[in-house]
Amino acid sequence: MTSSAFPKLSEPLGLFGGTFDPVHFGHLRLAEESIAHLGLGGVRWIPAGQPPHRGVPQVTAQQRLEMVRLAMANNARFSLDPSEVEAEAPSYTVHTLERLRRELGPQQSLVLLVGADAFAGLATWHRWRDIFALAHVAVSHRPGFPVEISSLPHELASEFTDRRRADVSGLKASPAGGIVTFAMTQLAISATQIRKLLANELSARYLLPDSVLDYIQTHSLYRNS
């Protein structure tokens, strides 16, 4: 298939992967703010089916997928990709990016969204260098606490120096290869914190959407017994 056969979006497409165990307002704010900061046409959420970098989640992949579906239901700029959940193999980012390249074509600008902590561990990811041939990488960080090169492993620090772009307009000019950073509103919310609250039958209200919390309660998720 020629590149002209692929329908190219006019703006870069953000890609937001994760376990989302469960999805919460911190995830939603990162996705929402990335659109404004990076000039994205939208964000495609890609829940992991079998995350290779952590233990087996307490709830099923289908339940995590459904919670993301509920959380993003009223935002037209968000879309949901169930492919990793539906696949039987472990969820490696580079494989997902290769699939999206086949689906969207070589000219579509793709922007992988990651937090600063996740980015610091990028060099441990499967075929991590190949990611830059498939997408840009956008790193979110706390206001006033930019990504410090000195805190990165040597190999990753070198890539960061070579690929960093000060102007996000470069995300639209090319399909892949750059690194940009952006500050996002800091919300002290974590999935670990939410799971602990729920396991102890404490309130997690206002940490995640009501629709997701209702789903968790209806299906008795994250309980100790």
What pLDDT score was predicted for residue 2?
A: 47
What pLDDT score was predicted for residue 58?
A: 86
What pLDDT score was predicted for residue 3?
A: 46
Q: What is the CATH number of domain 10-187?
A: 3.40.50.620
First to last CA, the chain: 52
Query: Which 8-state DSSP code applies to residue 1?
Result: -
Q: Is the peptide bond before 22 cis (omega within 30 degrees of 0)?
A: yes
What pLDDT score was predicted for residue 6?
A: 63
Q: Are the CB atoms for 49 and 91 separated by under 8 Å?
A: yes
Partners of residue 138 on adjacent β-strands: 113, 180
What pLDDT score was predicted for residue 53?
A: 66
| Domain ranges for the chain | 10-187
What pLDDT score was predicted for residue 51?
A: 76
Q: Are the CB atoms for 51 and 42 separated by under 8 Å?
A: no
What pLDDT score was predicted for residue 1?
A: 47
Partners of residue 115 on adjacent β-strands: 140
Question: CA 151 to CA 147: how far, in whole Å?
Answer: 8
| Distance (Å) of CA 224 to CA 8, 36, 141, 198, 199 | 47, 40, 33, 9, 5
**pLDDT string in tens for the chain (225-residue length):** 444 566 666 899 999 999 999 999 999 999 999 999 999 999 999 999 887 766 678 899 999 999 999 999 999 999 999 999 999 788 899 999 999 999 999 999 999 999 999 999 999 999 999 999 999 999 999 998 899 999 999 999 999 999 999 899 999 999 999 999 999 998 999 999 999 999 999 999 999 999 999 999 999 999 985
Token pair, residue 63, equals 């339940």
Question: CA 211 to CA 22: how far, in whole Å?
Answer: 12
Token pair, residue 91, equals 């969820």
